Structure 1
Amino acid sequence: MANLVIDNVKKRYGTTEVLKGINIAIEAGEFLILVGPSGCGKSTLMNSIAGLEDVSEGRILIADNDVTYTSPKDRDIAMVFQSYALYPNMTVAQNISFGLEMRKVAKEEREVEVQRVAELLQINHLLNRKPAQLSGGQRQRVAMGRALARRPQLYLFDEPLSNLDAKLRVEMRTEIKKLHQKLGTTIVYVTHDQIEAMTLADRIAVMKDGEVQQLGTPQEIYDNPANLFVAGFMGSPAMNFIPAKVVSQDGAPMLELATNSTVSLPFPKPDALANHIGQTVLLGLRPEMITEPQPHKVGQNFVTTTDIKVEVTEPMGADTMIITRVNDAEINCRSNPAYPAAPGSVIEMMFDTSKAVVFDQATGQRLDK
């Protein structure tokens, strides 16, 4: 395994700049996920690391060696693709060992490596089958096995689970995480699925329009998003954004909401609001911070109870999403399924602003950094 440095990498197609100066340093053994909407540049960046795309400016270093202009075959990397890219006329064992054969590895060594990888991925019983005889999940395991057999310095995964159904995607996600924990390999993984990013990564790079909006651990990005885009992209359901007027109450800035009545919420960083009295900001609050009244939270500094009118409920088994409107914004609240919340009824809900964030309405930037 090796470290990876992406140093001010830019990519242009004519006058269009697709990557706008990407800077990311990845430690050896780290699992980094590039996440963002379609067209944000994450696949272009992945292809640049692999050597499949030439960069316009900047450097790429693997194991402290500058590989910016090195051909893909000399970068000592292995890729796992969305499309599996298996040879249909070869058996599973032959697919796994093909790369080793191309590198002139002795037959005995190839056979040992195939067995090692097959045991690791639990596909021993599939070694004599051909790809057409495999399910989607089995094909993805074979594609991973082919990459693992090479023992490269760096693994690149390009949306490897996007062709699988929802249940299989969850299972394969777990398998990839187990594999990383067992082998400690360096992985760069591209996805547009923020749940994959949250569950798999050591660190996440959230991308938009060819730029890294934020780089951090999943929890850092979830709790402290750098801007409105990151806050809205990461999390399912997404963070609520509520236009709230900043008012002064007993000399302290508060956030005024119109629920079924008018209520003022305290904010954990009042200094960030001091210069915005009388202005409207966007209050960012995760759905799990708006719940049915919870006795253990009563009396806490940033907890306020108020009435809301239920518009829609969405039972999800372990909890129920309650949709309501606050300050003309539709918001999601997460409640216990046993809590009575019929559509059209007015119920009591608890707002916990201890982890709330605020954004500038015009720029989308955080005001409370």
Structure 2
Amino acid sequence: MASLTIDNVKKRYGQTEILKGINISIAAGEFLILVGPSGCGKSTLMNSIAGLEDVSEGRILIGDKDVTFASPKDRDIAMVFQSYALYPNMTVAENISFGLEMRKVPKEEREAEVQRVADMLQIGHLLKRKPAQLSGGQRQRVAMGRALARRPKMYLFDEPLSNLDAKLRVEMRTEIKKLHQKLGTTIVYVTHDQIEAMTLADRIAVMKDGEVQQLGTPQEIYDNPANLFVAGFMGSPAMNFVPAKVVEQNGSYALELQAAAPTVVPFPKAEKLAAYVGKSILLGLRPEMITEPQPHKEGAEFVTTANVEVEVTEPMGADTMVITRIQDAEVNCRCNPAYPAAPGKVIELMFDTSKAVAFDEATGQRIDL
């Protein structure tokens, strides 16, 4: 395994800049996920790491070796593609061992390595089959097996689960996580699925328009998003952005919400709001922080109740999403299924702002950092 350093990497096609100065460093054995919407540059960055794309500026180092202009075969990486890229005329065993054969590894060693990988991925019973005889999940395991047999310094995964159905995606996610925990390998993984990013990564790089918007652990990015884009992209359902007016209260500052009636809620970093008194900002609040009244939270420092009108309810089994509206913003609230909420009904909800964040409406940047 090896560390990875991406130093001010830029990529241009003519006058169009796809990557705009990417700086990321990951330690040996770390699991980094590049996440973002289509067209954000994450696959271009992955291909640049792999050597499939030339960079226009900057450097890429694997370990201490500068590989910016090295060919893919000289980078000692293995890549797992979205399309699996298996050879249809070869058996599973032949697909797994093909890279070893190209490297002139002796036959006995190849066979031993195929068996090791097959046991690890539980595909030993498939070794004599061809790709056409496999399910999508089985093909994905074979593609992973081919990469694992190489034992390279680094693994690159390019949206490997996007072709699988929802249930299989969850299962394969778990398998990839187990694999990383067992092998401790360095992995760079591209996805547009923020749930994959949250569940798999040691750290996440959230990308938009060729730039890294934020780099951090899944919990850092979930709890402390740097801007509106990151806050809205990470989390399912997404963070609520509630219009609020900054008001003075008892020598400090708080936020006034226009619910069924005006409601003032406290804010954990009130001093950061001083420059916005009398102005409107966006209060960022996760759905799980707006719930039915909970007795154990009553009287807590950052807890307030307010009456709101229910627009829609979405039962989800373990909880119910109650959708309401504050000013013009749709607000998702996560409630106990037993709490009586029906469209058109005014109900009492509890707002816990202990983990709330605030954003400037004009710039989209967080103002309480």
TM-score after normalising by structure 2? 0.99
Q: What corresponds to 1:98 in structure 2?
A: 98
> Shift of residue 164 of structure 1?
0.3
CA offsets, 1:110-133, max 9 Å, x none? 000000000000000000000000
**Could you tell me how far apart the structure 2 residues matched to 1:317 and 1:93 are?**
43
1:225 corresponds to 2:221? no
Q: What corresponds to 1:279 in structure 2?
A: 279
CA offsets, 1:150-191, max 9 Å, x none? 000000000000000000000000000000000000000000
Please tell me the root mean square deviation across aligned C-alpha atoms, in Å: 0.5
- Alignment of structure 1 residues 207-218 onto 2, 5 Å: 207-218=207-218
> Shift of residue 275 of structure 1?
1.3
Letter of the 1:114 partner, please give it: V
> Shift of residue 288 of structure 1?
0.3
**Could you tell me how far apart the structure 2 residues matched to 1:220 and 1:91 are?**
44
Q: Percent identity?
A: 84
1:366 corresponds to 2:366? yes
> Shift of residue 328 of structure 1?
1.9
- SS of the equivalent of 1:190 reads strand
Q: What corresponds to 2:32 in structure 1?
A: 32
**Could you tell me how far apart the structure 2 residues matched to 1:250 and 1:94 are?**
74
1:124 corresponds to 2:110? no
**Could you tell me how far apart the structure 2 residues matched to 1:365 and 1:15 are?**
28
**Could you tell me how far apart the structure 2 residues matched to 1:327 and 1:353 are?**
18
Q: What corresponds to 2:135 in structure 1?
A: 135
Q: What corresponds to 1:156 in structure 2?
A: 156
CA offsets, 1:208-265, max 9 Å, x none? 0000000000000000000010000000000000111111122221110111111000
- Alignment of structure 1 residues 1-369 onto 2, 5 Å: 1-369=1-369
Structure 1 window deviating more from structure 2 (187-196 vs 256-265): it is 256-265
**Could you tell me how far apart the structure 2 residues matched to 1:228 and 1:329 are?**
14
> Shift of residue 306 of structure 1?
1.2
The question of whether the paired residues in 2 share the 8 Å contact of 1:204 and 1:216 is answered with yes
> Shift of residue 63 of structure 1?
1.3
The question of whether the paired residues in 2 share the 8 Å contact of 1:244 and 1:327 is answered with no
**Could you tell me how far apart the structure 1 residues matched to 2:186 and 2:42 are?**
18
Structure 1 window deviating more from structure 2 (130-139 vs 251-260): it is 251-260
Structure 1 window deviating more from structure 2 (191-200 vs 247-256): it is 247-256
Uncovered stretches (5+) of structure 1, i.e. residues with no partner: none
**Could you tell me how far apart the structure 2 residues matched to 1:46 and 1:345 are?**
50
Structure 1 window deviating more from structure 2 (254-263 vs 182-191): it is 254-263
Letter of the 1:275 partner, please give it: A
**Could you tell me how far apart the structure 2 residues matched to 1:353 and 1:294 are?**
14
**Could you tell me how far apart the structure 1 residues matched to 2:193 and 2:97 are?**
31
Uncovered stretches (5+) of structure 2, i.e. residues with no partner: none
- SS of the equivalent of 1:310 reads strand
Letter of the 2:222 partner, please give it: Y
**Could you tell me how far apart the structure 1 residues matched to 2:15 and 2:322 are?**
47
**Dislocated runs of 4+, deviation >4 Å:** none
The question of whether the paired residues in 2 share the 8 Å contact of 1:321 and 1:332 is answered with yes
- SS of the equivalent of 1:273 reads helix
